[in-house]
Amino acid sequence: MSATEHQATIAADGSFTAPFELAYPYDRTIGPVLSRFFRGLAERRIEGTIGSDGKVYVPPAEFDPVTGSACTEWVSVADEGVVKTWTWHGHSGWALVLLDGADIPMLHRLLAHSSDELSTGMRVVAQWADDPTASINAIDGFVAAP
């Protein structure tokens, strides 16, 4: 892309827009905690870890944010929850979703046709991939709960 294709613009309504690409251009060994999390996703199961303060972290925390010690206690949470905050970019919605049973929201895609379908506080449910693999893509995204 040319430099001009990466520039931000101001729309007619005054809103600011800029190109966005979510990418992690490096390889990382994910270790035993995230490996367990991703294996669970492949089985359509969402798990988190419990911190010393009793909070449930999803995705799981490897180390307790309070004490710094390893998080070793696991718990399953629901595959539905509440949108805490969201944004719309191009043709996609992104949200921090607080799953039922979790205390920390996770970032994931919202599957909607337009931003008019989205709101803070709306209930959503995971739409699982037809053939989930051990990755975050086991969840295609979240849709409005029935």
Question: pTM for the whole thing?
Answer: 0.80
pLDDT tens track for 80-136: 999 999 999 888 899 999 999 999 999 999 999 999 999 999 999 999 999 999 999
Q: Is residue 18 very low, low, confident or very high in pLDDT (cuts 50, 70, 90)? A: confident
Tell whether the model's pLDDT for residue 2 goes beyond 70: no
From 86, 79, 73, select the one nearest 112 (Cα to Cα): 86
Domain ranges of the chain: 3-144
Instruction: Label residue 1 by pLDDT band (50, 70, 90).
Output: very low
Report the alpha-carbon distance of residue 70 to residue 6 in Å, rounded: 41
Determine the pLDDT at residue 6: 61
Q: Is 60 exceeded by the pLDDT of residue 3?
A: no
- As a 3-state breakdown, the chain gives helix, strand, coil percent values, each rounded to 5, of 15, 35, 50
- Find the mean pLDDT for residues 17-40: 84
Q: Are 61 and 52 in contact (CB under 8 A)?
A: no
43-86 tens-digit pLDDT:
999 999 999 999 999 999 999 999 999 999 999 999 999 999 99
